[in-house]
Structure 1
Amino acid sequence: MKSKHILYTAALAMVFTAGCKKTLELNQKGAYDASNYFRNEADAVNAITGIYSLLEGEDYIAHAETTFDVASDDYWRSGDHSEDEAIENLTYDASNAQVNYSWKWKYETVNRSTNCILNIPKITSISPAVKTRSIGEAYFLRAFGYWRLMVIYGDVPIITEDNYTKQNFNVPKSPIEDVRKQIESDLKQAITMLPESYGAADRGRVSKGTALGLLTKLYMYWEKFPEAIATGQQVISNANYALAANYQDNFTRANENSKELLFSIQAVQNIIQNDFTVYYIPRPWGGYGFSQPLQGLADEFEANDPRKQATLLSVGDKVDLGDGNGPTTFTADLSATGYSFRKYAVFNAAAAGGGVDHTFAVPLMRSADIYLLVAEALIRTKGAGAGDALINQVRHRASPLLKPVSGAGMKELIHERRVELAGEGERHQDLMRWDKDKIVDIAAIYNSPVSKAPLDKNKNVVFIRPKHYYYPIPQVEIDKSKGILKQNPNF
């Protein structure tokens, strides 16, 4: 496919993912398509960076991805977006703006990745190591695009190299089983091509551990538990992906070098704005104040669990905004629920100008997630207690004062995932996959008093099975396909 790209020069360091709100002075360098662009190593590296850069989009990760978790019992949508309210209350339809945004950006990820998979192998002026790594990155990023499409929509069209050869892109949906096989194939390719780790100059690139981690998540959603255990153990046993020494280390500026961050959004202060964090930060502090934690989430933490303090801001807590005025108090007027996410409220020191820290790396996948998925797979295949060692590693990292679990079953595993990964986009999807297996009753959870914001205490959320396990295909995409795409059932 000869996708036309306009290339520009700008004073940018290597930036993979973040949202840009600033106008840059750009000079057009040239107009290229796939037939004349892929000439040398620099072109290959820039093309791969162009795939990562899609994740900077406000409507890809920042606003859109967080919105898909607001239906959960962890936080209230807040904000003034009717599309968010519809997703939270399960009243969305095929015209919902967030549903529409998500489709576009995931398929652009697939498009750019496939372009690289087709063309980078043809480049001769490139070192073998960079060539192999770049192709591996493209395979991973294509898998990630399909992963998000699958999780959100279920059955979706598969576009691969053959479609580019035939110039045929208007194709029907493939069954979710085939989508999973496509993701699995791409991730297995990536695993053979990606390095285990990188030096400082390539900080933020996906690694072999990133691909193994996503493959583990795929297998858990696929309910291939032995395979999930096998791939997940390769992450857990590798020192390159070790848990950070302290839980809160994952949510500080220094975390951009953390081994635990298998995949993250990285930005550069004063050049690229990180919209992901902005959505969580209270408006008076420079954010939008969306996704406010609920009392039920606060209550889930054990009394001596320091992850509560690292995760949540509650009334009376102090934060240094870097404005030169010393610590600022979190007051009740900053959140309708009484809480905000501390883990994303990262600010520059006054000496650096203060304000929201856009160099903070936002975790998209952490090793701790993989530890707990493997623990779950062990429990579900071998019974209660089989995941104790891994759960206790995560708990002990949080605090040696937390009582170790013994004979832990799904109840304990569910608790641990909730407190460890709060606000990281896992809760709603976790509950839906457990609901499918009748491990939890998601409808009852979403209508419990602690699952509702103070302003929504009387609402009744109707979770319809299987309708709400997936979102509708955007109606605008069905219209553009002239009927080739078919709507998901019940929409």
Structure 2
Amino acid sequence: MKRLHILLIAAAGLLFTTSCKKTLEEKAYSFISPDDFYSSGDDAKVAVNGIYSELYTYDLYLQPFWNLTLLDDDHVSGADWYLGAAGAGNPQSYWGIDRPWAGLYLIIARANTVLEKVPGIASANITDDLRSRVMGEAYFLRGWAYFQLVQLYGGVPLRMHSLSVDPNQNVPRSSVKATYDSIISNLKNAESHLFYASDSRSGETGRVNKGVAQGFLAKVYATMGSGALTGSITVRGGEDNAFYPYTKTVVAGYDSLDSKACYTLARDKALELINSGEYTLFDNWADIWLKANRNLKEHMWEIQSLAGSSFLNDLHAYFTAGSYPFGLGAVWMTNNHYLNYEEDIDTRVLDGVTHQYTAYRAVSAGTNYYYPSWKSAKYSTDASGNSYYNNGGTDDKAFVTKFSDVSSPDVSTSDAFFPVMRYSEVLLLYAEAENEVTGPDANAYLYLNKVRLRSKATSAPAGLSQDEFRSFVLEERGREFSLENIRKYDLLRWGVYLQVMNKISLGQNNISKVRTTKNLLLPIPTSELSANSAITSNNPGW
């Protein structure tokens, strides 16, 4: 892993320093031209690391990318000073609202250059396997970037060449379907070029590989399938945490897609990956989040971090109970979502929520708190006789433990990893897709229950109808991936985001959950509208 970070730093510092003037414009800080640079296998590796390096910026995973989405769902609450913008339906008030567009198109620009230049490296200077791997990573990252863009903005301009090859800045928005066609083409190319993680040719730890490409193909197909589906789905929520049925309509732009065909492709691709034997679940749910287990078993792709380097983030400070800069963390799971689990047996809340903690104080001891207030007999005193407090109101904060195990918890930035895809998602994607293609058969139950039983939860209820199984899987994804930046995308692809959020209205800690049509998509940045005359209007409501 150290090798990966050294290469990333070199790539970010030497080759891929960029200007903010134009999203797709690379500013040269060296006399070495791209043609001169791409001359060896080492050059190809540095170049593809330059694509990865954009993930570790304030365009994307250092904050804006998850701030604009993770904070904006029905299962999250937090401090009003932090959730008062994007978390309250006001992304325009957040300083980073335009950054994901810039960051994702920068990934695309760099991938385009790699895909144009690496094929021209002389065979004497690069092995066939390395060329294939680098090309596969570039295809994947380009496809992944467009997948994020279509979910956040709808149909977007498809820029498939570097500006040196195609200098035209005025590219119109493609349809949602055309954008997905490009995503699938890129991910299929990635799949054919990459190697499984178990193959020594797959490269350094932390890179994407063939299994990750297959997992994302399954996810893309399922996103298309759910977006194009009609029917009904039930979601637990509202202020009373009851079960509310919603009519599921086709998501705008997905009307030309064949839902069952998409789900068939999702099921088959997920099963192909399952049958490959490349990944397994950790036996104990809590083991997923140990530092020692990063990049192992079910961790298919994580955003890496490295203590003592510039590759650090704010996850520990914002998402854990005892926060160095704030005293207490700024984001937590809602009480209602906590009650969606079997709280006395499910390790995703027994081990996944901090039940006794102390507010961080640099000088004096902070206050001891316990959670939840209704479990005072269990949590108000620890084994050493120390007392913990909860006022039954504002003290009820379900801080997750997912980002707690870091090298230096007493600093404002840390080396927490962020999961982009875990193997449990592949299992749940299979269960979801099989239900939509065939119904809730034994295979659908098998993979759903693999996820549930691993966390000591009871098996899913037998005899569910197709609609009931669909609803159960959606809720299971909410339980399994809480605060992993998946829930909002799920509500959007099922077409129930507005209904679910507005059913809550005013959430825990007085965080507004009221949403309007404009909250379905982010606004295209004004800088893009000014520079690209082929885009004549913004997204609805913006």
Q: Alignment partner for residue 5 of structure 2, among 11, 15, 23?
A: 15
Question: What is the one-letter code of the residue matched to 1:294?
Answer: T
Q: Which stretch shifts more, 336-345 or 194-203? A: 194-203
1:299 shift after superposition = 1.0
1:233 shift after superposition = 0.9
Q: Alignment partner for residue 103 of structure 2, among 102, 105, 114?
A: 105
Supply the distance in 2 between the matched residues of 1:15 and 1:489 (Cα, whole angstroms).
41
**Structure 2 partner of 1:446:** 501
Equivalence map 1:470-485=2 (5 Å): 470-482=521-533, 484-485=535-536
Residue 430, structure 1, aligned to residue 490, structure 2: yes
Residue 344, structure 1, aligned to residue 407, structure 2: no
Structure 2 gaps, min length 5:
15-27, 226-261, 371-388
1:53 shift after superposition = 1.1
**Structure 1 partner of 2:296:** 258
Supply the distance in 1 between the matched residues of 2:34 and 2:204 (Cα, whole angstroms).
25
Deviations 1:358-393 (A, max 9, x none): 444321111111111111111122223452111011
Give the match's secondary structure for 1:257: coil
1:282 shift after superposition = 5.0
**Structure 2 partner of 1:246:** 284
Deviations 1:270-319 (A, max 9, x none): 112133444323574357933322112211111310111333224x2479
**Structure 1 partner of 2:449:** 392
Equivalence map 1:190-229=2 (5 Å): 190-197=190-197, 202-223=204-225, 224-229=262-267
Equivalence map 1:117-132=2 (5 Å): 117-124=115-122, 125-132=125-132
Supply the distance in 1 between the matched residues of 2:396 and 2:536 (Cα, whole angstroms).
41
**Structure 2 partner of 1:279:** 318
Q: Which stretch shifts more, 183-192 or 41-50? A: 41-50
Q: Alignment partner for residue 309 of structure 1, among 343, 346, 350?
A: 350
Q: Alignment partner for residue 294 of structure 1, among 334, 353, 357?
A: 334
Equivalence map 1:12-51=2 (5 Å): 13-15=3-5, 30-51=30-51
Question: What is the one-letter code of the residue matched to 2:407?
Answer: N
Q: Conserved in 1, the CA contact under 8 Å of 2:74 and 2:513?
A: no
Supply the distance in 2 between the matched residues of 1:211 and 1:221 (Cα, whole angstroms).
15
Supply the distance in 1 between the matched residues of 2:133 and 2:404 (Cα, whole angstroms).
34
Judged with a 3 Å threshold, the aligned counterparts in structure 2 of structure 1 residues 278 and 136 are, in CA distance, closer, same or farther, namely farther
Question: What is the one-letter code of the residue matched to 2:84?
Answer: E
Supply the distance in 1 between the matched residues of 2:139 and 2:176 (Cα, whole angstroms).
19
Q: Is the radius of gyration larger for structure 1 or structure 2? A: 2
Question: What is the one-letter code of the residue matched to 1:204?
Answer: G
Judged with a 3 Å threshold, the aligned counterparts in structure 2 of structure 1 residues 230 and 201 are, in CA distance, closer, same or farther, namely closer
Supply the distance in 1 between the matched residues of 2:35 and 2:297 (Cα, whole angstroms).
38
Q: Conserved in 2, the CA contact under 8 Å of 1:55 and 1:61?
A: yes
**Structure 1 partner of 2:17:** none
Supply the distance in 1 between the matched residues of 2:529 and 2:462 (Cα, whole angstroms).
51
Give the match's secondary structure for 2:197: coil
Supply the distance in 1 between the matched residues of 2:62 and 2:7 (Cα, whole angstroms).
10
Supply the distance in 2 between the matched residues of 1:74 and 1:248 (Cα, whole angstroms).
20
Q: Conserved in 2, the CA contact under 8 Å of 1:347 and 1:357?
A: no
Judged with a 3 Å threshold, the aligned counterparts in structure 2 of structure 1 residues 45 and 336 are, in CA distance, closer, same or farther, namely farther
Deviations 1:325-368 (A, max 9, x none): 9xx866769x865122211122338xxx9658944432111111
Give the match's secondary structure for 1:373: helix
Question: What is the one-letter code of the residue matched to 1:87?
Answer: A
Q: Conserved in 2, the CA contact under 8 Å of 1:274 and 1:358?
A: yes
**Structure 1 partner of 2:22:** none
Judged with a 3 Å threshold, the aligned counterparts in structure 2 of structure 1 residues 283 and 195 are, in CA distance, closer, same or farther, namely same
1:246 shift after superposition = 2.0
**Structure 2 partner of 1:147:** 147
Supply the distance in 1 between the matched residues of 2:497 and 2:419 (Cα, whole angstroms).
26
1:394 shift after superposition = 0.8
How many correspondences in the alignment? 456
**Structure 2 partner of 1:461:** 514
Q: Conserved in 1, the CA contact under 8 Å of 2:506 and 2:513?
A: no
Cα RMSD of the aligned pairs, angstroms, is: 3.5
Supply the distance in 1 between the matched residues of 2:163 and 2:91 (Cα, whole angstroms).
32
Residue 58, structure 1, aligned to residue 58, structure 2: yes
**Structure 1 partner of 2:235:** none
Judged with a 3 Å threshold, the aligned counterparts in structure 2 of structure 1 residues 468 and 354 are, in CA distance, closer, same or farther, namely closer
Q: Conserved in 1, the CA contact under 8 Å of 2:137 and 2:194?
A: yes
1:97 shift after superposition = 3.5
Judged with a 3 Å threshold, the aligned counterparts in structure 2 of structure 1 residues 229 and 38 are, in CA distance, closer, same or farther, namely same
Judged with a 3 Å threshold, the aligned counterparts in structure 2 of structure 1 residues 374 and 451 are, in CA distance, closer, same or farther, namely farther
Q: Which stretch shifts more, 377-386 or 110-119? A: 377-386
Q: Conserved in 1, the CA contact under 8 Å of 2:170 and 2:533?
A: no
Structure 1 gaps, min length 5:
1-11
Q: TM-score, normalised by structure 2?
A: 0.75
Supply the distance in 1 between the matched residues of 2:54 and 2:519 (Cα, whole angstroms).
27
Q: Conserved in 1, the CA contact under 8 Å of 2:153 and 2:522?
A: yes
**Structure 2 partner of 1:5:** none
Judged with a 3 Å threshold, the aligned counterparts in structure 2 of structure 1 residues 111 and 403 are, in CA distance, closer, same or farther, namely same
